[in-house]
Amino acid sequence: MAGVVTAHLSRDPELRPRHRNEPRWVQWLLIGLALLFMLLIVALPLVSIFIEAFKRGVDVYVASITESDALSALRLTLLAAVISVPINTLFGIAAAWAISKFRFRGKQFLVTLIDLPFAVSPVIAGLIFVLLFGAQGFFGPWLDDRNIQIIFALPGIVLATAFVTFPFVARELIPLMQAQGPHEEEAAVTLGAKGWQIFWRVTLPNIKWGLLYGMILCNARAMGEFGAVSVVSGHIRGQTNTLPLHVEILYNEYQFSASFAVASLLVLLAVFTLIMKSFIEWKSHRETAKEAH
């Protein structure tokens, strides 16, 4: 996932001399195979969600997504994202600043540690917070005495979400800022700029598209996280259910149309994410092209 924005800067397909291309029929065979694969694995599932969601008519669809349990699940999903995305953004900027602008020992190790949550199964991401804050956990009795509930409540959901989405912004910014290097900021220091001034005036304009892309990916994962949240939420309808968990409950109750209807809301989130990604690529591509002239 890292560096998608940077990687796509040079997308323009170049016109090649004809003799360097494969024969036409080989090209179409390969294109056909690739499209068939994409259709079976990616496109069909996407389409099927909407067809299943509207199978029993628009009325059932509207009823399913405006029902009070669905709405409270939507609220909780938004709340968890609104808390975890900004914290992880702050972290991403801090980590990328330290890693890209300074030389220190163990840098590669630090980058590996930041990647850790990517390598951890979502279920384990939930489990670790149960081990810490659950009724039998290390801090369980202490929290219980003070009547603080973390597991099976909002704080647990936020912790699990923040853990799972931890590397997203940092992973996007580190390669981008490493490629840019510290030179522009150092020039700003020479010209007498102060700390935050350098960040707002020099660094931020340079990283804004990468930052935005990292935040959007982080948000998509935060709103869609299932496994980790499933462990810590306790599945209390109308209280600790997020949208993905609500999809599961409806599905397991054989309310397929309602389940797919709620799922279609999450598909819209995914489609929005992809459109924003294309937009950001187009924007950053245009800006680099302009600078080159």
Partner 1 sequence: MKGSKRKSRRVLPGFGLSMGFTIFYLGLLVLIPLSAVFIKTSGLSWGEFWETVTAPRVLASYKISFLTAFFAALVNLVFGLLVAWVLVRYQFPGKRLVDSLVDLPFALPTAVAGIALTAIYAPNGWIGKFLEPLGIKVAFSPIGITIALIFIGLPFVVRTVQPVLQDLEKDTEEAAAMLGAYRARTFRSVILPELIPPLLTGFAMAFARGIGEYGSVVFISGNMPMKTEIAPLLIMTKLEQYDYMGATAIAAVMLVLSFLLLLLINYLQWRAGRRVIAE
Residue numbers 70-129 binding partner 1 by CB under 8 A: 87, 90-91, 93-95, 97-98, 101-102, 104, 108, 110-124, 127-129
Q: CB of 292: closest distance to partner 1 in angstroms?
A: 16
CA distance between the termini of the chain:
30
Residues 13-52, one symbol each (x = binds partner 1 by CB under 8 A, - = not), give xx--x-xxxx----x--xx-xxx-xx-xxxxxxx-xx--x
Q: How many positions of this chain bind partner 1 (CB under 8 A)?
A: 110
Burial class of residue 287 in the structure, from the number of CB atoms within 10 Å of its CB (0-12 exposed, 13-18 middle, 19+ buried): middle
Give 54 or 91: the residue with its C-beta nearer to partner 1. Answer: 91
According to CB under 8 A, which residues from 252 to 271 bind partner 1?
Answer: 259-260, 263, 266-267, 269-271
Q: CA of 235: how far to CAs of 21, 136, 213, 230, 243, in Å?
A: 56, 19, 31, 7, 11
Q: Which of 86, 138, 238, 286 binds partner 1 (CB under 8 A)?
A: 138
Q: Under the criterion CB under 8 A, does residue 191 sit at the interface with partner 1?
A: no
Q: Would you say 93 and 169 are in contact if contact means Cβ atoms under 8 Å apart?
A: yes
Residues 148-177 that bind partner 1 (CB under 8 A): 159, 162-163, 166
* Residue of 217, 209, 183, 210 whose CA lies nearest to 198: 183
Residue with structure tokens 């975890």?
84
Nearest 10 degrees: CA dihedral of 155, 157, 172, 289? Answer: -100
C-beta of 11 vs 146, nearer to partner 1: 11
The pair of three-digit structure tokens given for residue 185, joined into one six-digit string: 């900021």
